[in-house]
Copies of this chain bind each other. A is one copy, B any other.
Amino acid sequence: MDPFIRKLSLRAHLDRDDVAALERAIRDISRVEAGRDLVTEGSAPGGACIILDGFACRYKLVPDGGRSILAYLVPGDGCDLHASLLNRAINSVATLTHCTIASVPYRAIKELAAARPNIYRALWWSVLVDGAVLQEWLVGIGRRSADKQVAHILCELLTRLRAVDLGTEADYRLPLTQAELADTAGLSNVHLSRVLADLRNAGLITSGRKSISVPDLGRLCDFADFKPDYLLLPAAEKSSEELGRLPGMTKIVC
């Protein structure tokens, strides 16, 4: 539960009762291995879920056999919390790593939203953020060069992880495959490999099998022209000096 509550708390102010209500509603927790579909495009939605640990992605398969990744879900992120209106899922969701997942019936969400204005606002906010991220990706894929585009995605992911207190200083590591990043950035595997090599040579990242690390997020953000405003995080609205100097963190002036 923790990262989810932390995420909702970023914007709305959840009081003791709100948290209690959330904890009461969200009980059904399970572990899922990597590479499993949580939602399959075209199927009837079964219920919402929340990622408590691990990485997942929202994706679509394209006619030519490829895959297009539309969003990453990190701990705290909900998945299809509002899809009860739909007859069929319009995209799939799959785990990228082992995940801990909470399943939530739609009814529970509706009741929470109806009874608790704070939670209602927080859920809305997270929908707006999802949209904003999608917009930013659209801009990126259309306009940015491949290297900045990839760097931008990394910056965004790390910033989102930081917002829920994950991916801390010592371990700015993402468990992503090159193929996954390629499907995100709209690049071929081959070219993505070269792009990563460039970033590595520039000292902006280090990468290994299924993992990418960022030694100095500030520099990467500079390189990518990453401006976190669109994530609508409260921190992004403070001055960047303030943001860069939170205790126990390296500079992340973006």
Contacts and interface: CB of A to CB of B under 8 A. Distances in A.
Interface of A: 11, 60, 62-64, 66, 68, 70, 82-83, 85-88, 90-91, 121, 124-125, 127-128, 130-132, 134-135, 137-139, 141-143, 185-186, 225, 229-230, 232, 237
Given A124-B85, A134-B135, A143 B225 contact: no
Contacts of A142: 68, 141, 185-186
23 contacts: A11-B85, A60-B135, A60-B139, A62-B143, A68-B143, A70-B135, A82-B127, A85-B121, A85-B124, A85-B128, A86-B232, A87-B237, A88-B229, A90-B232, A130-B131, A131-B131, A131-B134, A134-B134, A134-B135, A137-B138, A138-B138, A141-B142, A142-B185
A106 to B, nearest CB: 12
Nearest to A229: B90
A134 B125 contact: no
A237 B124 CA distance: 27
Contacts of A137: 138
Nearest to A121: B85
B141 A186 contact: yes
A128 B83 contact: yes
A223 to B, nearest CB: 13
B90 A143 contact: no
